[in-house]
Amino acid sequence: MIANHRYLEASLFSFCIHAAIFLYIYGTFDTNTSQSLLISKPLLIELKFDLPSQNIQKKIPALTNVNTSTPIQSSQDIVYSKNKEASETSQDNGFIESNIANLLSEENEIKADKEQQEISMYAQKIISTIEDAWMKPRNIPEDLVANLRLKIRSTGRIIGVELIKSSGNIRFDNSALQAVRRVETFNFFNSIPRTLYEEEFQVLAISFNPS
Amino acid sequence: MIKNFLLAALLLIPMLSYGELFLEITKGSEDPYKVAMIPFEGNARLSKKLNNIIRNDLIRTGEFSILDEELLLPVKIVNDELVYSDWKLLGMDYLVTGTIVKTNNSLDINYEIYDVHKKRKVRSSKVFGIPNQIRQLAHYTSDGIYESITGIKGIAATRLLYVNEIKDSQLISTYKLMLADSDGANEKTLLSSSEPIISPSWSPDGRRVAYVSFETGIAKVFIQEISSGKREAVLSKDTQISSPSWSPDGKYLSLTLYQDGNAEIYILRLRDRILTRMTNQFAIDTESSWSPKGNKILFTSGRSGSPQIYELDLRKLNPKAKRVSFEGTYNAKASYLPKEEGIIFVHRSNDGLFHIALKYKRENFIRVLTEAKMDESPSVAPNGNMVIYGIKEENLSMLAGFSLSGAKFKLPASNGEVREPAWSNFLR
């Protein structure tokens, strides 16, 4: 009996270790990549369907909430989610019971809204600049997707390009990299507010998804 | 009048001196890499020749545009650092420089590739050779340039097999099995016969070829060693044997045998010449070709009433042929792309014309890639980016090629007609 018990314990222990290893390999603990993909989701949707900008605004808060684990983002997210609750209560109770906290949060919400609008505007500009520079190669299979990560200076100069997900087709990957090379500098970057740049546009993930 | 004559003479001279290589680029790709090639330092005559061959190799891929020599700037080096800004202004993506080092019994090429955007050297390589191998060296160099820029292995240093038919004044034909560099230069005759030769096929190591010769009156498959010219019939049977295709490990040859009353696919183990029958059908089964991993073969069969392409999984016991082409009433002569992501084949369109087409495995439609009338026998380059095939122009057969990225080129025969091209594997 004792021996069996030991085996059970040992197998549980081994299971835990293996589970930990698999989770590590699948990137569960890898907070870094999920952070950089933050901006890529709206970009991806844009490249795919050319949705109106409202949808992007909806998408971004949803994503930021998922990624609260990352230190840089967290403070902003908490503020944002609080805003949301606050604004809901203020609507329920009407204007009479509004206090200074509500007023402040309203202000914050307007500010956050404006910021989201700005983000989507600049994201749109980035997308259209890259789209203009991109030549989709001929005779490649459909449903290919490649993701790139760009590091961009505040001047708009692209200082680093990295293929984070290959499409499996070298010609397609090359065309994406070549498009970014051709762009070289986003010349509207100097109009992006410094804080916004630091929060959102220093590192970008871009998905090339023509299907 | 004299002026006109002079002009005509001037125009003729280059055509004559480059008679072996007449390369016609008919179309380039939309977004080529822009490359400035500085003439290599060293012997001026060799440098010019080298430069020409590399330039042609790169342009033929359709993925490069090379800056005109007149527009080249001097290469400036400040504090051991190349000055990139000039090249950037010219819109260049890459800069290639090199030197030729020639001694009495060796000819080496050093070359460097600079990335103008990243502002750094991305490759520095050396190619070793002997003096009369300038073409080979040039091809190796252009493959190095191609690979370091695109990440795809180059195919300039690969070779082609094809059949050349020459008619004499009495219209009697001579058939020649020819071997040439991938640019059509360096032609060599492997076999000359008064009877037709068809279906040449490379062994995967590039040392031997298999082909069908009608020299005995009926179709027979022969294997020939390239270096020695030694040849033998693969089977001493008294039946028609055709369309040989080598397995990727070089151990087997798939064949079409007519001993059962109609054409059936067989696989021959070369070591002991044991034959295994792969198809058993009242209809014609022929034109087999192996998958890159050697676990499947494609073939053409008439079992559905029209020629269509079928696939056979060799790992299964008693494998059943799976039909893979469904569009139209004629699909034939298929071969796999190197990663098995799709097949290239001959397709008859609704207008009754024959074109080369591509079908990706995951797609349920085909892509027609050529637009002449009678396109035939496509052969895929080992990097999967180019295809060479036979065309007819004014009733003359010649070779044409295209890259999947959209470039097109032609290789007209220097003499007579050419057909049935076969692209070798990588040869290094």
Tell me the C-alpha to C-alpha distance, in Å, between residue A208 and each of A42, A43, A131, A183, B48: 12, 9, 9, 15, 41
Question: What integer pLDDT is reported at residue B281 of this predicted model?
Answer: 87
Domain CATH for A183: 3.30.1150.10
Between chains, do B151 and A140 touch, taking CB under 8 Å as contact? no
- pLDDT single digits (tens) A109-132: 898 888 888 888 888 888 888 888
- pLDDT single digits (tens) B267-304: 999 999 999 999 998 999 999 999 999 999 999 999 99
Query: How far apart are the C-alpha atoms of B377 and B401, rounded to whole Å?
Result: 11
- pLDDT single digits (tens) A149-188: 888 999 999 998 999 899 989 889 998 898 888 888 898 8
Query: How far apart are the C-alpha atoms of A131 and A144, rounded to whole Å?
Result: 16
B4-30: average pLDDT: 42
Of B8-22, B201-215, B364-378, the range with the highest mean pLDDT is: B201-215
B66-95: average pLDDT: 88
Query: How far apart are the C-alpha atoms of B299 and B64, rounded to whole Å?
Result: 35
Residue B121 has pLDDT above 70, yes or no: yes
Sheet of B274-277, strand order: B241-246, B252-257, B264-269, B274-277
Question: What integer pLDDT is reported at residue B5 of this predicted model?
Answer: 43
Between chains, do B30 and A141 touch, taking CB under 8 Å as contact? no
Question: What integer pLDDT is reported at residue A51 of this predicted model?
Answer: 34
The answer to the question of residue A156 being in a domain is: yes
Of A86-95, B38-47, B398-407, which gets the smallest average pLDDT? Answer: A86-95
Q: What's the sign of the alpha-carbon dihedral B13, B16, B22, B24?
A: positive
Residue in A55, A54, A75, A53 with CA at minimum distance from that of residue A64: A75
% of chain B with per-residue pLDDT over 70: 93
Q: B352 or A77: whose pLDDT is higher?
A: B352
Give the confidence band of A2 by pLDDT, cuts at 50, 70, 90.
Answer: low
The answer to the question of residue A4 being in a domain is: no
ipTM: 0.77
Q: B150 or A94: whose pLDDT is higher?
A: B150
Name the closest residue on chain B to residue A175, using Cα atoms.
Answer: B31
Question: What integer pLDDT is reported at residue B10 of this predicted model?
Answer: 37
Which stretches of chain A are DSSP H helices?
A: 2-25, 31-37, 40-49, 53-66, 71-93, 100-133, 170-183, 194-196
Between chains, do A139 and B150 touch, taking CB under 8 Å as contact? no
Mean of all residue pLDDT scores within chain A: 72
Residue B22 has pLDDT above 80, yes or no: no
Query: How far apart are the C-alpha atoms of B267 and B286, rounded to whole Å?
Result: 12
CATH class name, domain B159-423: mainly beta
Residue A81 has pLDDT above 80, yes or no: no
Between chains, do B29 and A138 touch, taking CB under 8 Å as contact? yes
B203-226: average pLDDT: 96
The closest CB to that of B150, out of A142, A143, A174, belongs to: A174
Chain B closest CA to A173's CA: distance in Å? 10
φ/ψ of residue B201, rounded to 5: -145, 135
Question: What integer pLDDT is reported at residue A95 of this predicted model?
Answer: 57
Residue A77: CB atoms within 10 Å: 17
Give the confidence band of A201 by pLDDT, cuts at 50, 70, 90.
Answer: confident
Question: What integer pLDDT is reported at residue B13 of this predicted model?
Answer: 35
Between chains, do B360 and A181 touch, taking CB under 8 Å as contact? no
Residue in A128, A147, A125, A130 with CA at minimum distance from that of residue A182: A130
Which stretches of B151-215 are DSSP H helices?
A: none
Query: How far apart are the C-alpha atoms of A126 and B316, rounded to whole Å?
Result: 52
Question: What integer pLDDT is reported at residue A184 of this predicted model?
Answer: 85
Chain A closest CA to B10's CA: distance in Å? 39
Burial class for A11, CB neighbours closer than 10 Å (0-12, 13-18, 19+): exposed
B136-157: average pLDDT: 94
Residue B243 has pLDDT above 90, yes or no: yes
Q: B401 or A115: whose pLDDT is higher?
A: B401
Tell me the C-alpha to C-alpha distance, in Å, between residue A8 and each of A16, A17, A19, A22, B280: 12, 14, 16, 21, 57
Query: How far apart are the C-alpha atoms of B411 and B409, rounded to whole Å?
Result: 7
Residue B305 has pLDDT above 90, yes or no: yes
The answer to the question of residue A26 being in a domain is: no
The answer to the question of residue A5 being in a domain is: no
Residue B265 has pLDDT above 60, yes or no: yes
Residue B365 has pLDDT above 70, yes or no: yes
Of A96-110, A181-195, B231-245, which gets the smallest average pLDDT? Answer: A96-110
- pLDDT single digits (tens) A6-32: 888 999 999 999 998 888 887 666 554
B281 at interface of A, judged by CB pairs closer than 8 A = no
Fold of the B26-150 domain: Rossmann fold (3.40.50)
Residue B3 has pLDDT above 80, yes or no: no
Chain A closest CA to B32's CA: distance in Å? 10
Q: A39 or B285: whose pLDDT is higher?
A: B285
Question: What integer pLDDT is reported at residue B23 of this predicted model?
Answer: 42
Q: Is the pTM of this model over 0.80?
A: no
Compute CA B412 distance to the chain's CA centroid, rounded to the nearest angstrom.
Answer: 14
Chain B closest CA to A137's CA: distance in Å? 6
Q: A160 or B246: whose pLDDT is higher?
A: B246
The answer to the question of residue A124 being in a domain is: yes
B27-54: average pLDDT: 87
Q: Pairing state of beta strands B64-66 and B33-37?
A: parallel
% of chain B with per-residue pLDDT over 90: 71
Segments forming the whole domain that contains residue A47: 38-208
Task: Tally the domains of chain A.
Answer: 1
Residue boundaries of the structural domains of chain B? 26-150, 159-423
User: Containing H/E element for B374?
Assistant: none
Residue in B239, B201, B222 with CA at minimum distance from that of residue B380: B201
Name the closest residue on chain B to residue A138, using Cα atoms.
Answer: B405
Query: How far apart are the C-alpha atoms of B88 and B91, rounded to whole Å?
Result: 5
The answer to the question of residue A155 being in a domain is: yes
Please list, in sequence order, all residues whose beta carbon lies within 8 angstroms of the beta carbon of residue B273, skipping any fewer than 6 positions away. Answer: B234, B235
Give the confidence band of B373 by pLDDT, cuts at 50, 70, 90.
Answer: confident
Where do we find the tokens 């989770």? A23
Q: B328 or A74: whose pLDDT is higher?
A: B328
Phi-psi category of residue B416: left, alpha or beta, with phi > 0 → left and psi -120 to 50 → alpha = left
| Partner residues linked to B399 by β-bridges | B390, B411
